[in-house]
Structure 1
Amino acid sequence: MTTFATIDSMVPEFQSALPSIAPEGLDTWTTTVPKEYVHRAAVAEVFLTGWRQTDTDVCTVTAQWPRAHSFYGPAHGFHDPLLFAETLRQTVPLLSHAVYGAPMDHKQIWRDLRVSLDPAALRTGLTPAEVELRVCCTDVERRGGVLRGMRMEVTATRDGLPLATASTMFSSHSRALYRRLRGAYADAEQAMAGAVVPPLPLRPELVGRDRAHDVVLSPRGDDGRWQLRVDTLHPIIFDHPNDHSPGMLLLEAARQAVQHLLGPAPVLTTGLDTAFHRYAEMDAPAWVAAEPLGDGRVRVIIEQHDALVFECVATTHPASAK
């Protein structure tokens, strides 16, 4: 059975305790959406500030990007491009729960992700970046009146200027179905306890990082591959217990592999064409490989047990603040 990557999903027990929110959602820059709606444990990691439904299967989602962040921080005068990927990741459960009525214990599973960012719109400013996403939901699938999945086509602006286009498809599964799909891996705390001890990291400067704690690749082996470092104590990547390596960890591994391959000059990963084929389990090593395709494009794959888990073609832009 082909599987994918969950969108960092939580299984809260308190759906009835969620705030009472009008159907049109929140529409303000002064607060974040409930953290439960975006599957985050820490309020500080919620970037979405509101949503409203503007038409059938069309929604507007607002977000604010901080000027500083412990993991997705700016560098060389640009916001981290993966802030946009995390914004999309949060949008998936938000609309699934708040607009399409998916129960709070349903998990959303990524199938693919395509992103194209305008480098000019990533430049940092004197205030946090105000981001707006227009989300068109297509191929909406329901079974028994319950959401089973959809595709989201996204056009984003930053302070009113074009920022990005994106497309992502995901499925949504009940707790019971997810447990059947995952079998022995369904228990998140048990899966994390059985995770492989992370190998030593690459030097941070080789992958565009300041701290070894944030490096997700090991030094290359004789076969030219990196081992994926799965640090279950990382407070951002593992904001809460997860039963497998989160999709955002795989995207970070791709971004770091691209920087290592094309460096030492810093590059921005402004385009992603990604497929999630299987779950990346934490109890066995996963291996990352990258090859240049020319014109600043790089193909990255992650394999485990000799099977393809994840593949991505990344497009880059020089990270020059001038």
Structure 2
Amino acid sequence: MQFTRTLPRELVHRAAVAEVFLTDAERHGEDEMLLAAQLPRRHAFYHDTLEGPARHDPMLLLEACRQGIFVVAHRYLDVPLGHKFLLRAVEFEVPDPAALRCGDHPTEAVISTHIEQRFHSRAGATGLRLRFGMTIGARDALLARIDYSWIPPRAWTRLRAGQRAALGLPEIPVALPGRRVEPVRVGRRDPGNAVISAPRTAPDGTRTARLVPDTGHPTLYDHWVDHVPGMLELEALRQLALSAAVDAGVLPAPTALPVGLAARFRCFAEMDLPLECRTGPVLPGADIECTLHQPGALAVEARLRLADPDTAGPAAGALAVPAAHGTA
């Protein structure tokens, strides 16, 4: 597989070439594909950590897999460019944390991709469940699974117009402004990469913060969408979980990385409605339960496992995706 140039940006639904991480794709059977990715040594978002770019953020690896969902659909299932895509569920684990270490050159990764399930309606295929295995050199860097679906543009327009009208929202959303937390509290150096408000703790140990969308963010809003992107939702929950773990004394500093995640997207998160992130009480050695709410609806439910990759051993097993049927 080649690593000399990226795949076309429109194939992976990115506007900026710098945000395209896939470089090649090959089909090896009806349900088997190989993808190639080059991970940058220093990325303004994914490597913005208090310890510097010593290791890759697993969210960067997940983003490379997420770009693969579009390649499989467009290149191998003939889903037309222009169709809209929905994340339904995401889960991953890092089997070998040592694989995340950055080297002196951009990292070359190979991603085995398998179609586990095809979703259909009377009109034909509407989505897939894909299983990914990313290797970096001889190390297993990430195991992931993504459920997703696609919708023709006209159907998407009708769907979103109806949903927003039912919520009393205008046709074109404008993101709610908000004051962001100090970046060091959520493991960031750049204030622009903090995506939640200052967390608050309730008497029962529940911690809450508002998701603060920035439609000008060059990575999280690489191109305009009329809702909060799934990767931004996951980032907001990660930042709150980090802060909660430090406040609870489970972590000494917000430098841990997510080595396991399971999330279910239940509905669209509207950027012009208040979005509240929540975690339950944080206990040593336990996964952190996280949710994202907007008025009248649960948008995302997730579990996160945080660990220091320098001391973490092999993954203890995949986190089960919460049982639900997501719609965004």
- Normalising by the smaller structure, the TM-score range is 0.7 to 0.9
**Aligned-residue offset at 1:138:** 2.3
**Aligned-residue offset at 1:306:** 3.4
1:158-208, Cα deviation, whole Å (9 max, x unpaired): 12321121111111111122122211568xx9634x2211x1111111101
Asked if the contact 2:85/2:148 (under 8 Å) is kept, the reply is yes
User: Which residues of structure 2 form unaligned runs of 5+?
Assistant: 165-169, 247-251, 313-328
Matches within 5 A, 1:209-228: 209-221=188-200, 223=202, 224-228=207-211
Asked if the contact 1:301/1:310 (under 8 Å) is kept, the reply is yes
Q: Which residue of 2 aligns with 1:55?
A: 29
Q: Which residue of 2 aligns with 1:149?
A: 127
**292-301 vs 241-250, which moves further:** 292-301
**Aligned-residue offset at 1:235:** 1.4
1:262 pairs with 245, 260, 281, which one? 245
Letter in 1 for 2:148: F
1:13-43, Cα deviation, whole Å (9 max, x unpaired): xxxxxxxxxxxxxx41100000001100000
**Aligned-residue offset at 1:300:** 1.0
Asked if the contact 1:296/1:316 (under 8 Å) is kept, the reply is no
Whole-Å separation in 1 of the counterparts to 2:238 and 2:119:
32
**Aligned-residue offset at 1:220:** 2.5
Question: What secondary structure does 2:172 align onto?
Answer: helix
Taking a change above 3 Å as real, the CA distance of residues 185 and 282 of structure 1, as seen in their structure-2 partners, is farther
Letter in 2 for 1:249: L
Q: Which residue of 2 aligns with 1:288?
A: 277
**Aligned-residue offset at 1:55:** 1.0
Q: Which residue of 2 aligns with 1:132?
A: 110
**Aligned-residue offset at 1:115:** 0.1
1:97 aligned to 2:74?
Answer: yes
Q: Which residue of 1 aligns with 2:324?
A: none
Count of residue pairs brought into register by the alignment: 293
Asked if the contact 1:136/1:152 (under 8 Å) is kept, the reply is yes
**264-273 vs 277-286, which moves further:** 264-273
Taking a change above 3 Å as real, the CA distance of residues 143 and 309 of structure 1, as seen in their structure-2 partners, is closer
Q: Which residue of 1 aligns with 2:266?
A: 277
2:64 pairs with 83, 87, 91, which one? 87
TM-score computed with the length of structure 1 as normaliser: 0.85
Letter in 2 for 1:308: L
Whole-Å separation in 1 of the counterparts to 2:201 and 2:97:
35
Identical-pair percentage: 32
Q: Which residue of 2 aligns with 1:191?
A: 172
Q: Which residue of 1 aligns with 2:183?
A: 204
Question: What secondary structure does 1:92 align onto?
Answer: helix
1:180 aligned to 2:158?
Answer: yes
1:113 aligned to 2:90?
Answer: yes
**Aligned-residue offset at 1:141:** 3.2
Taking a change above 3 Å as real, the CA distance of residues 257 and 220 of structure 1, as seen in their structure-2 partners, is closer
TM-score computed with the length of structure 2 as normaliser: 0.84
Whole-Å separation in 2 of the counterparts to 1:146 and 1:32:
31
**Aligned-residue offset at 1:150:** 0.9
**Aligned-residue offset at 1:320:** 3.9
Q: Which residue of 1 aligns with 2:226?
A: 243
Q: Which residue of 2 aligns with 1:302?
A: 292
Letter in 2 for 1:203: E
1:171 aligned to 2:146?
Answer: no
Taking a change above 3 Å as real, the CA distance of residues 319 and 202 of structure 1, as seen in their structure-2 partners, is farther
Asked if the contact 1:191/1:242 (under 8 Å) is kept, the reply is no
Q: Which residue of 1 aligns with 2:321?
A: none
Matches within 5 A, 1:26-41: 27-41=1-15
Letter in 2 for 1:281: E
Letter in 1 for 2:24: G
